[in-house]
Amino acid sequence: MPNMLAHLLAATLVPLCLASSPARAATPLRPNVVFILADDLGWADTTLYGQTKFYRTPNLERLAKRGMTFNRAYSASPLCSPTRASILTGLNPARIGITSPVCHETEERLQATSGKNGPAGNKATVCTSATRLKTEYVTLAESLKAAGYATGHFGKWHLGPEPFSPLQQGFDVDVPHYAGPGPAGSYVAPWKFKDFDADPGEPNQHLEDRMAKEAVAFMEKNKERPFFLNYWMFSVHAPFNAKTNLIEKYRSRVNPADPQRSPTYAAMVESMDDAVGTLMRTLDRLGLTDKTLIVFFSDNGGNMYNEVDNTTPTSNAPLRGGKATLYEGGVRVPCVVCWPGTVAGGSRSDAVIQSCDFYPTLLEMLALKPAEGQRFDGISIVPALEGRPLQRESILTFFPHDPRVPEWLPPAVSVLCGDWKLIRIFHGGEQGAHRWKLFNLASDLGETRDLAAQEPQRVKDMDARIDAFLRDTHAVVPLPNPAFDPAAYRPDLEGVPQKEQPKPGPEAQSDWKARNCTVAFTNGIVTVRGTGDAPFLGLAAGLTRGPAAVRLRARAAAPGPGRLEGLSGAGQDASQSAPFELRGGDWQVLTVNVSESFPLNILRVYLPAQKQPVEVDWIEVKRPSDAKPRRWNF
């Protein structure tokens, strides 16, 4: 650490010494840096990618005409604090230990932990994130400050309060000096920040208008020297409120068939875009546009789990999922980079970039060197900015958590190699093994077709990259859960948001799924009518194997054959079946005894319901080790 501080001190003094020489005086100043980070702004939330018909972002369009728009830009995490840490350090959250947005918590944790156990239904433990960005890292702000830059942070921080605030991480200025996860109280004044209020005479001032005003004052004050303006917006994070006139403006434009239909959120997007415009106009007015590098980015994908205006805040379609998921909707984000004199205005790039790339990229753009011994997980994307191919093998996203939002996954890590994306679900398979999902984004942007079973060698090769990444970053990973109980395992609820999950237990009729048939529930009886070949009721029972007795009480209008099928996983790669016969007329209790090798993870009860309806009262599974059978009453 002393060597690092000595290096920074030397880097600070060298420019001062050189400035006194006549040769140095003739050298033009380094360009300014403006880094604009939106919060929770999804890839489809701007007009840059042609995916929204509802929101309006004219200032981002103006920015894009001055620089390069990246079609495949990724946050290092589907949640905010880890991505923010990656921007400031150039390191992956797996290495830093901040993997969840918990940096506002009062407990100071500088290291992540794997967790000793988890809920009985979880196959893996859930990691506990660090809650502070350690000051031992040489941040982007510290590097630029050492090079003579004025440094100012404006807006959301969420990497720890003092002594871990922006003022201890290389920034001269921090407004509003707030460590919380979102705006204090509201976007529209009055706010609840300590020592930071609305301007006098503007009782309904919007927070982003005020933050942009503060950023403008910083640029005006430092216009004669290079400055680093780190404008990390509060927008468009919850709470969901906005200017009344803008809400009404969008309310009249709502199309109920459009998944983006919240007028409040649309108004929030416009205020965010207005702040971008304020900064751009200020640079124009000060004559600094051609002397300023600008990055616009978002910390993760759009929010698909909160509710506002009786709908979700936004939609990330055609991407799957959103904030807090490893699917594309959670990590693919909008990005524009302006580099006057180098980047062609209005250009676009398909290069794959990630948030930890910005630090090494800016150092190269500014002809600065890293601190002695400093390393990055990101790479410089200067080749892409110059229109050349970007040599990159893969990017990795580590998310050892399972917030129960739509499209959630158990603790996982993903690797993206070109168009192929592999997701490893830690210990999600049999006997503590991992489970994988594989997608080809070129042909399946919505990640609907899991190709892991068809591409075993590709899975093996890509998973080796995950192993190497976890070793290199010394990642704290989820462990097999010692408290795991197969009887409590509910794989059918993977991806189902918490508020929609049926309560576990024997009475949950929605545990069962109907396929190739219609069902009707009356007085605890389900009536099944076939609509296609092989109608069945399916259940993700979450049990491993037999022996077991599977029983059901049923009544058929006419006799016919049926069968019980057991699957070891969703890929149906290992299955067995056992026949049974339904007699017509009265109720009967059928018992199907299955052997020790019969898989019980997923059960399907095929019924002779193509021509005549079949009624089912209950289904149960009893294993020798069970004190009582697991029964599902309809």
Q: Where are the domains of the chain?
A: 2-94+137-391, 502-633
Mean pLDDT across 154-174: 97
- Whether the pLDDT of residue 26 is over 50: the answer is no
Write out pLDDT tens, residues 138-153: 999 999 999 999 999 9
Residues 194-231, buried b or exposed e (16+ Cβ, 10 A)?
A: eebebeeeeeebbbbbbbbbbbbebbeebbeebbbbbb
Average pLDDT, the chain: 89
Confidence of residue 488 (pLDDT cuts 50, 70, 90): confident
Alpha helices in 428-540 (DSSP H): 456-473
What's the token pair of residue 181? 């996860």
Residues 6+ apart with CB under 8 A from 589: 551, 552, 553
Alpha carbon distance 97, 112 (integer Å): 5
Higher pLDDT residue, 489 or 575?
Answer: 489
Half-sphere exposure of 500 (CA within 13 A, CB side): 13
Return the SS3 of 208. Answer: helix
What would be the CATH architecture of the domain defined by 502-633?
Sandwich (2.60)
Write out pLDDT tens, residues 244-272: 999 999 999 999 999 999 999 999 999 99
Cα angle 339, 342, 345; round to 5: 70
Place of tokens 């191919």: 389
At residue 329, the pLDDT reads 98
Write out pLDDT tens, residues 174-196: 999 999 999 988 999 999 898 89
At residue 624, the pLDDT reads 86
What's the token pair of residue 17? 């010494």
> What stretch of H or E contains 383?
helix 382-385
For the chain, helix (H) and strand (E) counts, in that order, are: 13, 24
Dihedral of alpha carbons 492, 496, 500, 503, sign: positive
At residue 25, the pLDDT reads 37
Write out pLDDT tens, residues 33-43: 999 999 999 99
At residue 598, the pLDDT reads 87
Dihedral of alpha carbons 216, 221, 223, 229, sign: negative
DSSP states along 130-179: P-S--TTS--HHHHHHHTT-EEEEEE---S-STTSSGGGTT-SEEES---
Alpha carbon distance 496, 317 (integer Å): 17
Write out pLDDT tens, residues 383-401: 999 999 999 999 999 999 9
Length of the chain: 634
Write out pLDDT tens, residues 289-305: 999 999 999 999 999 99
At residue 572, the pLDDT reads 42
Alpha carbon distance 603, 541 (integer Å): 7
At residue 521, the pLDDT reads 72
What's the token pair of residue 390? 């970007």
Mean pLDDT across 391-413: 95
At residue 499, the pLDDT reads 60
Alpha carbon distance 557, 615 (integer Å): 9
Alpha carbon distance 508, 467 (integer Å): 39
Beta bridge partners of 518: 529
Alpha carbon distance 183, 272 (integer Å): 13
* Cα–Cα separations (whole angstroms), residue 548 to 57, 430, 620, 629: 60, 19, 10, 10
Cα angle 75, 481, 456; round to 5: 60
- Whether the pLDDT of residue 532 is over 80: the answer is no
The CATH class given to the 2-94+137-391 domain equals: alpha beta
At residue 239, the pLDDT reads 92
Confidence of residue 27 (pLDDT cuts 50, 70, 90): very low
Write out pLDDT tens, residues 84-105: 999 999 999 999 999 999 999 9
Alpha helices in 286-372 (DSSP H): 328-331, 358-365
pTM value > 0.85: no
Confidence of residue 215 (pLDDT cuts 50, 70, 90): very high
Q: 303 with 316: CB under 8 angstroms?
A: no
At residue 12, the pLDDT reads 38
At residue 574, the pLDDT reads 60
At residue 542, the pLDDT reads 67
Q: In terms of Cα–Cα distance, which of 30, 29, 28, 31 is closest to 292?
A: 31
Alpha carbon distance 536, 578 (integer Å): 14
> What stretch of H or E contains 590?
strand 588-594
Cβ-in-10-Å burial (0-12, 13-18, 19+) of 50 comes to exposed
Residues 365-393, buried b or exposed e (16+ Cβ, 10 A)?
A: bbebebbeebebbbbbbbbbbeeeebebe
Dihedral of alpha carbons 428, 429, 434, 436, sign: negative
Q: 594 with 566: CB under 8 angstroms?
A: yes
Confidence of residue 631 (pLDDT cuts 50, 70, 90): confident
Mean pLDDT across 534-551: 81
Higher pLDDT residue, 122 or 10?
Answer: 122
> What stretch of H or E contains 15?
helix 2-19
- Whether the pLDDT of residue 17 is over 60: the answer is no
